[in-house]
Structure 1
């Protein structure tokens, strides 16, 4: 389904009934990267309306020429919220850049957000503390026939470079990469408009919403050492740093991540 918003349109898929759960994927892919591993969580859990969106400039979500920043992307998503589940309380799951967007949503819709889950989330920081890149397992045989773009992305994102994880990448992540708006993503928006104008949470001492924060200790894209402030902002939080997990913990540590989210939901 498509929803018209102020600077384009947002494509989304609905699953289930109940409390809206807005689900936000990472940069460069689409909603399928989240749907593939989140839907199995709800096999025996009812009461949630899962709303998977293609964030603006991704998948089948369209943007117009006025959109140029994360502020604009957030405005489109807030428009979407007001049209698809207006005046309802809702929960958030955001992965990587989607986690940063979730922070922006909570910043502006504090009274509506019931709970928030952030996975390997980006932060409002110009400089991050990042571990050195490590490879914990590598199957050299899988790379011989890969296109250079796929090989580069897979090697960048994964610390377990196995056939199983490559198959998952090709099935869940790569289809969205093919649809991403490269004109926008390769423009200068990252230099000029990646960060929100208003730092999320800056004017709030603490939130009472239940929060789940999951990080990978070997994540050399977002890191794990700069997140202590979230413990103070969210006193009702579960804060997990997974060892032997990189940025793609939703694939590399899927079973653990799913169990943690089940606990957060119920």
Structure 2
């Protein structure tokens, strides 16, 4: 958000069904239902206005779905550590690696330590501060029951690039962490021929929170993506 706040773009943030602010009492039971709900929310907020879409992790898979289902209106798509292979057992991921740890930061993390350690490759004060600001509130406010329902059917009915096999020709960005042992990067690279205007970037010293652990580079890449759309 901070990377683009000075650019002439209007940002719309959508709460997925497990988020604390959601008031809808219906519970989706699959990723496909979540994706359909996101499409409906976009229609409600934007009507037929063109837009770009960006998503992180599970949201990256949803963003690819949105981009293909509304291709005639989508100006570009970006994913940050996006899910490509839904089944965890089928993902090509590197071994769990921690490159830097500051013990004092972990000791001071309190009850957030386990969640922070679980995915962090860089475990220093800056990484924890970003985690505490941008990730932890969502974790603590999430509805675990809703997440379990969706996790039982985590894949979309059809892979977006297979449902719409024609190349996606709008500017794209697909960013991965070299040490991401949650979704990896190899599966994402298989999509590169589908995105002829796509930047595929693998950042070292970054795991599943690549956008937090390499925030300055991520900011530059997102700004470049939007600049390519503007041109």
Q: TM-score, normalised by structure 2?
A: 0.91
> Counterparts of 2:123 and 2:48 in 1: how far apart (Å)?
44
Give the equivalent residue in structure 2 for 1:155: 117
Give the equivalent residue in structure 2 for 1:89: 50
**What is the aligned counterpart of 1:230 among 191, 209, 212?**
191
User: Which stretch shifts more, 124-133 or 57-66?
Assistant: 57-66
Cα distance per residue 1:7-50 (max 9 Å; x no partner): xxxxxxxxxxxxxxxxxxxxxxxxxxxxxxx234332x22x111
Alignment partner of 1:167 is 2:129:
yes
> Is the partner of 1:183 in helix, strand or coil?
helix
Task: Please state how far the C-alpha of 1:88 moved relative to its aligned partner.
Answer: 1.2
Aligned in 2, Cα 1:224/1:40: closer, same or farther, shift over 3 Å?
A: closer
Task: Please state how far the C-alpha of 1:62 moved relative to its aligned partner.
Answer: 3.2
> Is the partner of 2:79 in helix, strand or coil?
strand
Q: Greater relative contact order: 1 or 2 (C-alpha under 8 angstroms, separation 6 or more)?
A: 2
Is the CA contact 1:124–1:199 (under 8 Å) kept in the aligned structure 2?
A: no
Aligned in 2, Cα 1:163/1:232: closer, same or farther, shift over 3 Å?
A: same
Alignment partner of 1:206 is 2:178:
no
Cα distance per residue 1:141-187 (max 9 Å; x no partner): 22234444x211101111111122112211221122221112212x3
Give the equivalent residue in structure 2 for 1:112: 73
More helix by share: 2
> Counterparts of 2:17 and 2:26 in 1: how far apart (Å)?
12
Give the equivalent residue in structure 2 for 1:134: 97
Aligned in 2, Cα 1:60/1:83: closer, same or farther, shift over 3 Å?
A: same
> Counterparts of 2:206 and 2:159 in 1: how far apart (Å)?
28
> Counterparts of 1:221 and 1:228 in 2: how far apart (Å)?
15
Task: Please state how far the C-alpha of 1:255 moved relative to its aligned partner.
Answer: 0.4
Cα distance per residue 1:76-116 (max 9 Å; x no partner): 11111111101111101111111011011123211111100
Give the equivalent residue in structure 2 for 1:68: 29
Give the equivalent residue in structure 2 for 1:219: 180
Task: Please state how far the C-alpha of 1:188 moved relative to its aligned partner.
Answer: 4.4
Structure 2 counterparts to residues 29-44 of structure 1, below 5 A: 38-43=1-6
Give the equivalent residue in structure 1 for 2:41: 80
> Counterparts of 2:27 and 2:125 in 1: how far apart (Å)?
42
Structure 2 counterparts to residues 5-24 of structure 1, below 5 A: none
Is the CA contact 2:178–2:206 (under 8 Å) kept in the aligned structure 1?
A: yes
Is the CA contact 1:57–1:63 (under 8 Å) kept in the aligned structure 2?
A: no
Cα distance per residue 1:192-239 (max 9 Å; x no partner): x11111221103131111111111111111101112232111011111
CA RMSD of aligned residues (A): 1.6
Is the CA contact 2:31–2:154 (under 8 Å) kept in the aligned structure 1?
A: yes
> Counterparts of 1:89 and 1:49 in 2: how far apart (Å)?
12
Give the equivalent residue in structure 2 for 1:35: none
How many pairs align? Answer: 224
> Is the partner of 2:190 in helix, strand or coil?
helix
Task: Please state how far the C-alpha of 1:60 moved relative to its aligned partner.
Answer: 0.5
Alignment partner of 1:261 is 2:218:
no
